[in-house]
Amino acid sequence: MVKKTTSGTDDSADPTGSAQFAGTVKDSASKIWLAGLGAFAKAQEEGGKVFETLVKEGLSIQRKTQAAAGERLNEATSRMASMATGFTSRTSGQWDKLETIFEERVAKSLNRLGVPSARDVEALQARIDELQRTVDRLSARSVGKSAPAAGGAAKSTARKRPVRKTAKPPA
């Protein structure tokens, strides 16, 4: 350390006092420099070990975080799948209702326009078939009052259904 002289003389006149002071400062600066170099070397040695320890801890935390994130992702995926299933079942039920309403309205509109429904056409076909059988029986009675030969007249009286023509709109 630096020693203070208590003599009342001028330091510039005393060459040994200033030289001693300069030597003390130089020695002190040298020790500070060496202590800094020693601390730097120690930090370099320990720094590598500390760095490796921090890397290992970081990897451990990253693995835990990834595992937790994977679990959360799986939970979210299963929730979304169940929500999608519920949504699909609800919308399909609504779609069926909408389709039924649409079919009913179209049928009512066609009925108002005088277009026969499929049931009406089937009923008419059944009625025509019944009338054809009745006509065949009556014509067989009037001709010879006997039933036609098996396969003879029944096959020759194949009926043709008339084709319904619709009026074309004016051009």
> Which of 13-17, 48-52, 107-111 is the most confident on average?
107-111
64-104 pLDDT per residue, tens: 999 999 999 999 999 999 888 888 887 877 888 888 998 88
1-15 pLDDT per residue, tens: 555 555 544 545 555
Q: Bin 19: left if φ > 0, else alpha if -120 < ψ < 50, else beta.
A: alpha
> Does the pTM of the predicted model rise above 0.75?
no
Q: What is the mean pLDDT of the chain?
A: 78
pLDDT band at 126 (very low <50, low <70, confident <90, very high): very high
Report d(CA 170, CA 157) in Å as an integer: 39
**Quick one: 148 exposed, middle or buried, by C-beta within 10 A (0-12, 13-18, 19+)?**
middle
